């Protein structure tokens, strides 16, 4: 960001502009203004794929992986990382809360290459404080853990700085169905309510900006008060935290630190567009990183579908990074296969949104596939699918490979009309 503000067009900007098909000067200006971020720690310059997140760019997809307190299987997490890379995630986050978190992070950083890699340092600070001293961590441990993650090469981090002690107190006393559903947010709220102190990230925001500037890493401002039920969407608590995040974002911009803002969560269909527009207005078009959003609360086992519905609308309205949900959301740690399902669902949503948001730049892919479909060119059609493996498997699931698929057989519309279409 600082290099771009000096008037130069960094090589990273030129490369992303080429990949996205946008004007490099416009992209540089958006980076300068904080409307675009490039998640890449200076310690991983040659090992991380360059991607841009923000205004005028394609909607990106994030995949969450990591251990739980009850399932600590590093081989499975390695496979999830490889699955995320293979099936088209743009970024990966390690949300591990079980096992040796520093060692797990080191392993998953490597397995996730070349994708940008994110973490939530609050988890480690909180868990280490409890396990080492048998009590809550001190303020300094929260900050030292952020620095540790930066030194290890983490490209972006969720920092729940917008949750003040006052907001935490209001949340637990509120009539919300689910007062706080963010894990990091709950840890910080418990810490503040127990100690009586202010959020260490909010209190030491200037110091955090200095740290992130040193590594040119991206801060992802967490939404600790995101709604956990569609009933609570866009309530006073959610908006109050967003306003605080917008203020913190402006301070970061002044210091040349890249920041994106996280969003919900559970939001009914009729409020998704409002959520995106409100955030973009309050933050002057900062990159928006949304979890779904889920448009219903009853989709257990199919939350990847419910979230894809919300994500498509969110992307069309301007959301920039979609955090996938898997079929295991709210039920279990996901398997590698469920990670794949979540990624594909989120990529479909992101692309559907981009058709609206970016127009012909994204529509080109659909046009290509449709032309091959009209010619019954199965190999080229399948090659252009988001998941060619599954498309091929379904196409040949009954063994027969005829000119048409076995849904219609010789009554395929293109076969019926072929001699008339050829004349025209």
Mean pLDDT, range 123-134, rounded to an integer: 90
* pLDDT recorded at residue 391: 96
Residue 189 has pLDDT above 80, yes or no: yes
Residue among 305, 344, 347 at smallest CA distance from 322: 347
Residue 385 has pLDDT above 70, yes or no: yes
Q: How confident is the model at residue 248 (pLDDT cuts 50, 70, 90)?
A: very high
Q: Helix axis angle, 101-112 relative to 121-133, nearest 10°?
A: 160
Distance CA 401, CA 395 (A): 8
Taking only the tens place, the pLDDT of each residue in 295-304 is: 999 999 999 9
Residue among 194, 195, 118, 173 at smallest CA distance from 150: 118
Mean pLDDT, range 260-278, rounded to an integer: 98
Residue 7: Cβ within 10 Å count = 8
Distance CA 86, CA 70 (A): 27
* pLDDT recorded at residue 418: 85
Lookup result for tokens 């866009």: 234
Residue 423 has pLDDT above 80, yes or no: no
Helix (H), strand (E) at residue 308: helix 303-317
The topology under which CATH files domain 59-358 is TIM Barrel (3.20.20)
Residue among 327, 332, 295 at smallest CA distance from 311: 295
Which residue pairs from 387-394 have beta carbons closer than 8 angstroms and sit at least 24 positions apart in sequence? 387/87, 387/344
* pLDDT recorded at residue 351: 98
Residue 153: Cβ within 10 Å count = 21
Mean pLDDT, range 188-199, rounded to an integer: 98
Can you give the residue ranges of every domain in the chain?
59-358, 361-423
Mean pLDDT, range 393-399, rounded to an integer: 92
Distances (CA, A) of 177 to 173, 180, 189, 266, 270: 11, 9, 17, 12, 19
Burial, 239: exposed, middle or buried (Cβ in 10 Å; 0-12, 13-18, 19+)?
Answer: middle
Taking only the tens place, the pLDDT of each residue in 226-239 is: 999 999 999 999 99
Q: How confident is the model at residue 422 (pLDDT cuts 50, 70, 90)?
A: low
Q: How confident is the model at residue 402 (pLDDT cuts 50, 70, 90)?
A: confident
Residue 377 has pLDDT above 60, yes or no: yes
Distance CA 159, CA 105 (A): 17
- Mean pLDDT computed over every residue of the chain: 96
Taking only the tens place, the pLDDT of each residue in 215-227 is: 999 999 999 999 9
Distance CA 249, CA 1 (A): 14
359: tokens are 């127009």
Is beta strand 218-221 parallel, antiparallel or unpaired with respect to 156-159?
parallel
Give the max Cα distance, the chain.
82
Burial, 356: exposed, middle or buried (Cβ in 10 Å; 0-12, 13-18, 19+)?
Answer: middle
Taking only the tens place, the pLDDT of each residue in 136-163 is: 999 999 999 999 999 999 999 999 999 9
Residue 47: Cβ within 10 Å count = 14
Distance CA 233, CA 263 (A): 11
Q: How far apart are the first and last CA of the chain?
A: 55
**Bridge partners of 294?**
266
Dihedral, CA of residue 29, residue 34, residue 35 and residue 39, to nearest 10: 100
Q: How much of the chain exceeds pLDDT 70, in percent?
A: 99
* pLDDT recorded at residue 399: 86
Taking only the tens place, the pLDDT of each residue in 37-68 is: 999 999 998 889 999 999 999 999 999 999 99
């Amino acid at each position: 960001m600082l290099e771009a503000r000096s008037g130069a067009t960094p090589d990273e900007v030129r490369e992303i502009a080429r990949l996205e098909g946008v004007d490099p000067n416009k992209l540089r200006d958006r980076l300068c203004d904080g409307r675009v971020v490039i998640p890449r720690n200076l310690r991983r310059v040659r090992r991380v794929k360059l991607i841009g997140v923000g205004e005028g760019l394609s909607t990106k997809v994030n995949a969450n992986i990591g251990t739980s307190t009850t399932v600590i299987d590093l081989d499975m997490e390695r496979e999830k990382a490889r699955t995320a890379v293979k099936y088209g995630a743009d970024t990966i986050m390690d949300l591990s809360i079980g096992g040796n978190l520093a060692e797990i992070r080191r392993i998953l950083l490597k397995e996730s290459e070349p994708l940008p890699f994110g973490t939530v340092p609050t988890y480690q600070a909180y868990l280490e404080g409890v396990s080492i001293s048998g009590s809550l961590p001190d303020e300094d441990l929260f900050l030292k853990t952020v620095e540790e993650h930066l030194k290890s090469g983490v490209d972006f981090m969720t920092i729940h700085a917008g949750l003040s002690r006052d907001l935490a107190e209001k949340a637990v006393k509120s009539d919300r169905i689910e007062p706080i559903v963010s894990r990091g947010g709950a840890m910080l709220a418990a810490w503040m309510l127990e100690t009586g102190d202010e959020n260490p990230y909010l209190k030491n925001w200037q110091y955090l900006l200095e740290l992130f500037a040193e590594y040119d890493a991206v801060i992802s401002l967490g939404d600790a008060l995101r709604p956990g039920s569609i009933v609570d969407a866009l309530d006073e608590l959610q908006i109050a935290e967003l306003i605080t995040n917008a203020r913190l974002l402006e301070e970061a911009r002044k210091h040349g630190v890249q920041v994106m803002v996280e969003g919900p969560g559970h939001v009914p269909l009729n409020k998704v567009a409002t959520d995106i527009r409100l955030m973009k207005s309050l933050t002057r078009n900062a990159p928006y990183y949304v979890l779904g959003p889920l448009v219903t609360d009853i989709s257990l086992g199919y939350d990847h579908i419910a979230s894809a519905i919300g994500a498509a609308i969110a992307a069309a309205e301007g959301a920039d990074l979609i955090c996938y949900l898997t079929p295991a959301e709210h039920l279990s740690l996901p398997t590698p296969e469920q990670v794949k399902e979540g990624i594909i669902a989120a990529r479909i949503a992101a692309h559907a949104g981009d058709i609206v948001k970016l127009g012909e730049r994204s529509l080109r892919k659909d046009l290509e596939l449709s032309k091959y479909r009209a010619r019954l060119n199965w190999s080229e059609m399948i090659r252009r699918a988001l998941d060619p493996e599954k498309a091929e498997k379904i196409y040949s699931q009954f063994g027969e490979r005829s000119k048409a698929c076995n849904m219609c057989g010789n009554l395929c519309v293109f076969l019926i009309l072929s001699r008339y279409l050829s004349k025209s």
